[in-house]
A and B are shown apart, each in its own frame.
Chain A
Amino acid sequence: MTVLIDLPREAPVVGPGVTLRSLSEEVSNRVLLPNTPRWWWIGFALGMALLLTFVVQLIWLFINGVGIWGINIPVAWGFAIAEYVWWIALASGGTIVSALFFLTRSPWRSATNRIAETMLLSAAPCAGLLPIMHLGRQGLFYWLFPYSSVMGVWPQVRSPLWWDFVCLLCYILMSIMYYYTGLLPDLATVRDLARTRWKQVFYGVLALGWHGSARHWRNQQTVYAVMSAIMAPMVISVHSVVGLDFAGGITPGWHSTQFPPYFFFGAVISGTALIMMLTILVRWGYGLEDVLTGYHLNALAKVMLVGSVMLGYAYVWEAWGPIYGSDVAERTQFFYRIFGFYAACYWGKIVLNIVIPQLLWLPIVRRSEVLLFSISAGIIVGMWLERFVIVIPSLSHGYMPSYWGVFFPTFWDWAALAGTIGLFLSLFFLLLKLVPIVSMSEVREIVAKERSR
């Protein structure tokens, strides 16, 4: 990774005119100044509108049960699970950028990690809600907690679903703590720059009285480094375990040892793609061009490219296994995937995740925000298709030909998708308004370095 990132720079990490003060004010004012840009309102309104559909579909779901979706036997898992995997991948991308590239000491990470983590915190709830929604008896989801829930019966901890539940739980909690540890100094800055009383109190309380003493800094640096060293394997484990949800089953199309890395590659590319889109948005919306420079976009683009190549590798093995292997069920399954009822989804994911991103080899493409934005959007759609292809066609063509069937999404399936997107947008725009979206303390170091050079 580092090798890739430390290529001769194509753009400076921070713009020339940036000083410590200008940086702090530029960033802090976004949360301090009362005037809110129109694009924020539009985004937030869109989020809330979709969130409303989410609420409606939740009510309908709780009244009628999961039967309102298109799922059936054999295809007992539908959109809910595919989208859960999709969301958790997007969320993981946040940690990958902020933790993994902290360890690699990549300079570009400093400005983008807050966006990444904010995205993580907004995506994680979507990922967390879907598996609960998809339960037949949603009210009893707490039986998954490791305690003696009914008549001394505990969860069945051999189930990949339980592993997944634990992973998700830990992941969300840990992400919040990690996020907060990094955020603390910036909250202090906002506190100190705040002019209105209630904002001073609000951020003062959040800052817990941080006063940036040498001792604080040293503690924070140490613990943050160790945390990153933990979050990195954590995020890999999270998505590997999501992969185990499927690899742990014997269903043809799922039962594959390559799933854990395969899923992680997916997380890398889709997470980075979303960060890319949000970075471009924030950069443009908040006019932070000299803090979030082309250097950052370029670096993210390269990560996306790497992700795409890794994913392509996984796709090759996904195909090679069944073709080379002797299991007739696996083979029928695979050919059903690529030629069957859902073939369009399969080829769609190939094009969007593998073919188109190869454009990123060209520096011109990496410099054009429009192209980067659309390629990233394509990747996110493509990853949705990938999850769909993994979950649904595998189930619809299992071992028993007599019980082959197909899944048609109903209106409520789409409502669930739209709803989670709404939840994400609402949360993200809310956090955008509440917390400094660029890690000032870290960028200051870079500014200082630049200046001392």
Chain B
Amino acid sequence: MSQIFGIVGVFDRPEAVTDAAKHLRSLGFRAMDAYTPYPVEGLDQLLRPQRRMMLPLVMFAAAVAGAAWGYFIQTWDEVLNYPINVGGRPHNSWPAFIVGTFEFMLLVTIAAGLFGFLASCRLPRLYHPIFNADAFGRASVDRFVLCVEARDPSFEVEHLRRIFERFGAERVAEVPA
């Protein structure tokens, strides 16, 4: 069955997708994903209840690293590498180093955020089989698409088609791999 990627049901209401997804999970489907034009509250938790968000932790770690780096280069500069009497101020004028430390911390954090986010989304990835789905273009405009992938053990086209239609899918289609 590997010539198709999966089967999609296209809905016009977020609630329909949520209900369908609930039902499918209760039937034991796991390999499925929903594509929506805007974030639908709790949908991801519904599809992947066990998934934990690592991103905030990553960014926090980055913040700590950034701050450390920021303070270090300033100390290296003024204290370790080239200590010199500037206006009678001590070499390690830590209050003056705070700003730099702070800014470096934030910069690194945001960078980590962006790249962590892309990584966790497996992006950039210009091609994805789901793009082959019929009318998938509308998933980024005004349609809500639920896709059960063929790799799911209990994947069975007709069965899923009926379920989708029962939940009011306005179209159900197979997605070529």
| Any B CB within 8 A of the CB of A36 | no
Q: A153-B82, A208-B124, A219-B117 given as contacts; is B141 within 8 A of A193 (CB)?
A: yes
A–B complex contacts, Cβ < 8 Å, 12 sampled:
A21-B141, A148-B81, A163-B99, A166-B99, A181-B117, A185-B38, A191-B140, A209-B126, A211-B130, A211-B139, A237-B103, A442-B38
Bound together, the chains give a CA A211 to CA B124 distance in angstroms of 11
Task: Give the number of residues in B that approach A within 8 Å (Cβ atoms).
Answer: 65
Instruction: Kindly supply a per-residue 1/0 record for chain B positions 94-129, scoring 1 wherever the CB is within 8 Å of any chain A CB and 0 otherwise.
Output: 001101101110110111011011101101111110
Q: A20-B141, A212-B37, A215-B33 given as contacts; is B107 within 8 A of A174 (CB)?
A: yes
Give the interface of B toward A (CB within 8 A): 14, 33-40, 43-48, 51, 53, 55-56, 59, 73-74, 76-78, 81-82, 86-87, 89, 93, 96-97, 99-100, 102-104, 106-107, 109-111, 113-114, 116-118, 120-121, 123-128, 130-131, 136-142
| Any B CB within 8 A of the CB of A62 | no
Binds B, one of A135-143, A223-231, A384-392, A412-420: A223-231
Instruction: Kindly supply a per-residue 1/0 record for chain A positions 16-35, scoring 1 wherever the CB is within 8 Å of any chain B CB and 0 otherwise.
Output: 00011100110000000000
| Any B CB within 8 A of the CB of A154 | yes
Residues of A within 8 A of B96 (CB): 157-158
Give the interface of A toward B (CB within 8 A): 19-21, 24-25, 146, 148, 152-158, 162-163, 166-167, 170, 173-174, 177-178, 180-181, 185, 188-189, 191-193, 204-205, 208-223, 226-227, 230-231, 233-234, 237, 241, 244, 440-442, 444-445, 448
Residues of B within 8 A of A220 (CB): 39, 117, 121
Residues of A within 8 A of B48 (CB): 214-215
Contact B81 A215, beta carbon cutoff 8 Å: no
Contact B39 A230, beta carbon cutoff 8 Å: no
Contact B142 A214, beta carbon cutoff 8 Å: no
Contact A214 B140, beta carbon cutoff 8 Å: no
Bound together, the chains give a CA A441 to CA B175 distance in angstroms of 25
CB closest residue in chain B, given A201 = B126
